[in-house]
Amino acid sequence: MSGFNYEKDGDGIVTITMDMDGPVNSMSAEYGPMMKATVDRLEAESDLTGVVIASAKKTFFAGGDLKMLAQVTSETAGEFFEGCEAVKADLRRLERLPVPVAAAINGAALGGGLEICLACNYRVAWDDKSVKLGLPEVTLGLLPGGGGIVRMIHLLGLMASNEFLLEGKQVDPARAKEAGIIHEVVASRDELVGLAKAWILANKDNEDAAVQPWDRKGHKIPGGNANTPSLAQMIPAAAPMLIKKTRGLLPAPEKILDVAVSALRVDFDTALRIESRGLTYLVQTAVAKNMINTFFFQLNKVNGGASRPSDVEPQATKKVGVLGAGMMGQGIAYVSAMAGIEVVLKDIDKDAAIKGKGYSEKLLQKRVDKGRMTAEKMQEVLALITPSADNADLEGCDLIIEAVFENMTLKHKITKETEPCLAEGGVWGSNTSTLPITELAEASINPENFIGIHFFSPVDKMPLVEIICGEQTGDVALAKAFDFARQIRKTPIVVNDSLGFFTSRTFATYLEEGARLVMEGLHPIKIDNLGKAIGMPVGPLTIQDEVSQELSRKAQATWVELGYADRFGDQSQYRDFIDWMVLENDRGGRHHGGGYYDYHADGSKTLWPVVVDKYYKPEVSLADEDVKDRLLFRQVIEALKCLESGVLRTVADGNVGSIMGIGAPVWTGGFIQFVNTYGLDKFIARCEELSAAYGDRFDPPAIVAEKLAAGENFS
């Protein structure tokens, strides 16, 4: 049979090797008929001893067909539901065969892949870093719809299943065995099928081996059912706690919890049907469509190199120089060394460079303490970092990244001093967050090999790198920066040159709009709360304190100096406000003694009373929806302007960059994708309402009307 290869050996064991069309096995349109025909044949077999489910692909099974899922509408929901039920019915038949069924897991088994494995009586996996097991559907706004929730509840219980169902946690085989998801691991992929067959033969006379735990008489769910006193007390509080965490913006976790609790209350097969209803509901939501589009299709496109010059050979970085051992520089040094790259961490003072290396030592020691790294490996990584104050140590670097203060004159000086140390053909990168690369490259002797490589803080945790091409940046430099980002396990987006580029320019509107609301008289606590209510990680005032008002003031001063004072509209009022905070009141931000908030030794914070006394007006009444839309739409509009002006090269870069670099609410799928499901016509109308009420900064960008007239979305 094409796709599911069927082979019966002399012991009566049938091995089904999944080898579907395309690079991976998945629950595509061809899967259902193949699985049904396979189970039909197994049920008709004579002298059947057992079944092994294996894969001919590098991955065991990749899961559902997301393209198909994203296209489900209210008109096709009934058909989709019946399809879910058909998938479940075949897996139910598979696990009810009168002989043991084993899964030989040779690669990643995520989502539908793990659901197939859970329908097997025995699961053995290759103990390799390429093998991951989990149910990540929640990260795409969905739930496991092939029996994953119900089987995990019956296998592990409600509490132990939480991290896999509600968080979408993926684990390696050793951790999966420890959790009770699989039964055994093997050191070699070649052992898998043999061990699975050996287990079948060893258990051919054991009737229980062919019966799933939940189908055995007297089965009890680990940890108890909904009537167990401890769970009965916990369940009513679980939903409010979850909503507090998701802020009510993500329907998938709530629906997963609902299905999981139902599985504690009803019989197994009824719970499976409830699970199908849950998935059918979720696939129709805008949130799921947004998340699937960005977190799967567009993220794969970005990481796959869609913005990388295809005709440039791979550009691996062997030795990187990092100039400036401050917060950004020390983070770049750490992630580079973790990727096995030789690093020269240079500062004007060697003690400062040594201190910068200490940051890596601290992070590595934490890994050792948690058992995630050996002490020997820690020393290997640290040995890759050379702290220095001597330009000579930079000789031979094939990449140098400057990470010093945002000052054009200073950056020009450092470029002229150290660029000659680059190896032949080496690339110079600037970790600037706002300054135009074209102007920074004026100090370069080789501007075609000069590029922006913008990291986000903290570098060891933030997944994004924004690569900025100046007017003269060449393809080799772009390929070098892109490949370096992938080498250090970051996601790179590629944008064109501009003041503030994409991420800083867009993010700044969130901070500015928060400040405008303060000046209009709204209470600061309410502003921050409504920022979180739209799904931003924190409110605009809190994040301004973290970024620091001092940094914003200096950036604004630099823009004025360069003649860019009001490039993005009239910001004079905002500049005056920041000057009032920093220059008149010494409120430069959290790390400068305080900003909107006072920060205390015990980790708590309280609102700075002066800002309330000066600006808060109890009589001011703004609709919550207006405040939330102002905080969100300012960023969306700026992202659209970046696309319209060519700063953003692709919609994918804009969506991925806004979520990973700016903290855009995940339910939106990114600031540009948000417009698609909000509706282009509705978006224009809402922008016009906001513009009439609050100012022309909310005018809808012309590109939206152009797309609407063409009958297109942003894709």
- CA–CA separation, 114 vs 132, rounded Å? 10
Cα angle at 122 between 121 and 127, to 5 degrees? Answer: 155
Q: pLDDT digits over 507-524, tens only?
A: 999 999 999 999 999 999
Two tokens at 587?
A: 């409120």
Reported residue count of the chain is 715
pLDDT band at 436 (very low <50, low <70, confident <90, very high): very high
pLDDT band at 20 (very low <50, low <70, confident <90, very high): very high
Q: If you ran DSSP here, which 8-state letter would residue 423 be given?
A: E
pLDDT at 480 over 90: yes
For the chain, the domains span: 4-284, 319-498, 504-646
Two tokens at 66?
A: 């997301």
Neighbours of 90 (CB within 10 A): 21
- pLDDT of 553 reads 87
Two tokens at 294?
A: 């960005």
pLDDT at 620 over 50: yes
The pTM score is 0.93
Q: If you ran DSSP here, which 8-state letter would residue 105 be given?
A: E
How high does pLDDT run on average in the chain? 95
Residue type, 11: D
The answer for residues whose C-beta is within 8 angstroms of residue 665's C-beta and 6 or more apart is 249, 534, 535, 536, 632
Q: What is the mean pLDDT of residues 100-128?
A: 98
- pLDDT of 560 reads 79
- pLDDT of 559 reads 75
- pLDDT of 201 reads 97
pLDDT at 457 over 70: yes
- pLDDT of 407 reads 87
pLDDT at 657 over 80: yes
pLDDT at 573 over 70: yes
Q: Name the class of domain 504-646.
A: mainly alpha
The answer for residues whose C-beta is within 8 angstroms of residue 132's C-beta and 6 or more apart is 108, 109, 110, 170, 171, 172
403 three-class SS:
coil
pLDDT at 461 over 60: yes
pLDDT band at 242 (very low <50, low <70, confident <90, very high): very high
Tell which wins on pLDDT, 408 or 686.
686
- pLDDT of 1 reads 46
SS (H, E, C) 557-605: HHHHHCCCCCCCCCCHHHHHHHHHHHHHCCCCEHHHCECCEEECCCCCE
Multiple choice CATH, 319-498, 3.60.130.10, 3.40.50.720, 3.40.50.10140, 3.60.15.10: 3.40.50.720
Q: pLDDT digits over 261-320, tens only?
A: 999 999 999 999 999 999 999 999 999 999 999 999 999 999 999 999 999 999 999 999
Q: pLDDT digits over 128-182, tens only?
A: 999 999 999 999 999 999 999 999 999 999 999 999 999 999 999 999 999 999 9
Two tokens at 609?
A: 């009373």
Neighbours of 267 (CB within 10 A): 9
- CA–CA separation, 1 vs 211, rounded Å? 27
Residue 285 and residue 62 in contact, taking contact as beta carbons nearer than 8 Å? no
Q: What is the mean pLDDT of residues 38-54?
A: 97
Looking at domain 4-284, its CATH superfamily turns out to be 2-enoyl-CoA Hydratase; Chain A, domain 1 (3.90.226.10)
- B/e letters for 366-393, b = 16+ CB within 10 Å, e = fewer, are eeeeeeebeeeebeebbebbbbbeebeb
- CA–CA separation, 434 vs 440, rounded Å? 11
Two tokens at 40?
A: 């039909």
Percent of all residues in the chain with a pLDDT value above 90, rounded to a whole number: 92
Two tokens at 403?
A: 């990470």
Q: If you ran DSSP here, which 8-state letter would residue 449 be given?
A: G
- CA–CA separation, 590 vs 599, rounded Å? 7
Give the helix ranges, DSSP H, for 157-228.
158-165, 173-179, 192-202
pLDDT band at 565 (very low <50, low <70, confident <90, very high): low
Percent of all residues in the chain with a pLDDT value above 70, rounded to a whole number: 99
Nearest CA-CA partner of 520 in 651, 655, 621: 621
Residue type, 593: G
Nearest CA-CA partner of 291 in 69, 84, 135: 69
